[in-house]
């Protein structure tokens, strides 16, 4: 199989493909490199639309996306053309994102970034009783919007702080309630009661821009917002206004509405923590993603349906 990867991926797993006799070319102008390929390896910031698929031609059989999300790919266009699409969800990624979520929660509530900056510019003159006073999490309420695999892992970690955990999703999850002690709540009630609200929803037509002026106005006064889900879920202008008004105390973002561009007003706010889309960035997660990526290609080449196929309905009518 002739495969083009838009960028290198961590680890040595791509070598398994070349060792098996497949051609793997890495990097270069995508519009030139895709012509005549059979497999395409992409990242989340590679836009793969119908025009690119048609440019590749009828030889393109599989698009393997090195990411959990796949909103960068026109799935319907791929399915209509008989092209299989895979992604790289795994427990290592989920654990990494849950860990990063908690890192952001703690950085916000204990003002770690502000304090670090003060020390680095020489403002620390010795212990004082009233500088960088934070908020204790012990016994507080955590609101999780979207209790999937990552949201559940975030909830599990809240036990150590003896927090009340409210969650909102389409339907109550009785298994999660029994295992994690979480409580199903309407979104409005969750926002009104939660000291920290963390987002763990996919990007869909329903969730795009869901964190808007109305959403933020319903949050508890003095609460915090954390987003490690998808950037366009949050309307950054509305978030800036809520922060400026003091309605919410702080926010932490790992993803952005117009990534990689960030609202400059957010950048200038001390009560905002910003990280560069690294929630899943652990050695363990990246290696697991690479392995899953290659495994999906190997399965496809051998005629087996990949376990991580995004559009399973295409399988019987896939290009061969």
Q: Which of 230, 235, 236, 249 is catalytic?
A: 230
Closest residue by Cα to residue 217 from 235, 231, 230: 235
Q: What is the DSSP string of 24-86?
A: EEE-S-HHHHSTT-SEEEEETT--B-HHHHHHH-TT--EEEEESS--TTB-HHHHHHTT-EEE
Q: In whole angstroms, how far apart are CA 20 and each of 14, 41, 212, 246, 293? A: 10, 17, 50, 59, 15
Q: How many CB atoms lie within 10 A of CB 56?
A: 24
Annotated catalytic residue 230: yes
Q: How many CB atoms lie within 10 A of CB 10?
A: 15
Which residues are CB-neighbours of 285 under 8 A, at least 6 positions away?
A: 90, 92, 93, 95, 96
How far the first Cα of the chain sits from its last, in Å, is: 11
Q: Which of 259, 265, 318, 319 is catalytic?
A: 259
Q: What are the b/e assignments for 243-257, b being 16+ CB within 10 Å?
A: beeebbbbbbbbbbb
Distance from chain centroid for Cα 60: 27
Report the relative pairing of strands 39-43 and 2-5 from DSSP bridges.
parallel
Which residues are CB-neighbours of 320 under 8 A, at least 6 positions away?
A: 61
Q: What is the DSSP string of 79-99?
A: HHTT-EEE----HHHHHHHHH
Annotated catalytic residue 22: no
Q: Which of 156, 157, 277, 319 is catalytic?
A: 277
Annotated catalytic residue 188: no
In the 8-state DSSP scheme, what is residue 177? H
Closest residue by Cα to residue 144 from 177, 111, 113: 177
Active site (catalytic) residues: 230, 259, 277
């Amino acid at each position: 199989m002739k495969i083009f990867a838009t960028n290198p991926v961590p680890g040595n797993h791509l070598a398994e493909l070349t060792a098996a006799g497949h051609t793997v070319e890495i990097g270069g102008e995508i519009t030139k490199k895709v012509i005549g390929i059979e497999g395409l390896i992409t990242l989340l910031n590679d836009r793969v639309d119908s025009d690119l698929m048609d440019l590749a031609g009828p030889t393109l059989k599989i698009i393997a996306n090195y990411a959990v999300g796949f909103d960068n790919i026109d799935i319907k266009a791929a399915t209509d053309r008989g092209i299989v699409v895979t992604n790289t969800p795994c427990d290592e990624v989920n654990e990494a994102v849950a860990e990063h979520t908690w890192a952001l929660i703690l950085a916000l509530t204990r003002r770690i970034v502000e304090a670090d900056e003060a020390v680095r510019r020489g403002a620390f003159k010795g212990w004082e009783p009233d500088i960088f006073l934070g908020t204790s999490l012990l016994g507080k309420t955590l609101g999780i919007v979207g209790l999937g695999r990552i949201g559940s892992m975030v909830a599990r970690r809240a036990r150590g702080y003896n927090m009340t955990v409210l969650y909102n999703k389409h339907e109550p999850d009785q298994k999660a309630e029994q295992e994690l002690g979480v409580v199903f709540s309407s979104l409005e009630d969750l926002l009104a009661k939660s000291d920290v609200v963390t987002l763990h929803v996919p990007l869909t037509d329903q969730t795009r821009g869901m964190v808007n002026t109305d959403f933020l106005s319903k949050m508890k006064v003095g609460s915090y917002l954390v987003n490690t889900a998808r950037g366009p879920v949050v309307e950054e202008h509305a978030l800036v206004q809520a922060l400026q008004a003091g309605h919410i105390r702080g926010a932490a973002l790992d993803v952005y509405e117009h990534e990689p561009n960030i609202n400059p007003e957010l950048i200038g706010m001390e009560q905002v923590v910003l990280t560069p889309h690294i929630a899943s960035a652990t050695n363990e997660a990246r290696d697991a993603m690479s392995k899953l990526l290659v495994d999906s290609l190997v399965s496809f080449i051998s005629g087996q349906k990949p376990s991580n196929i995004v559009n399973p309905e295409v399988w019987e009518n896939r290009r061969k």
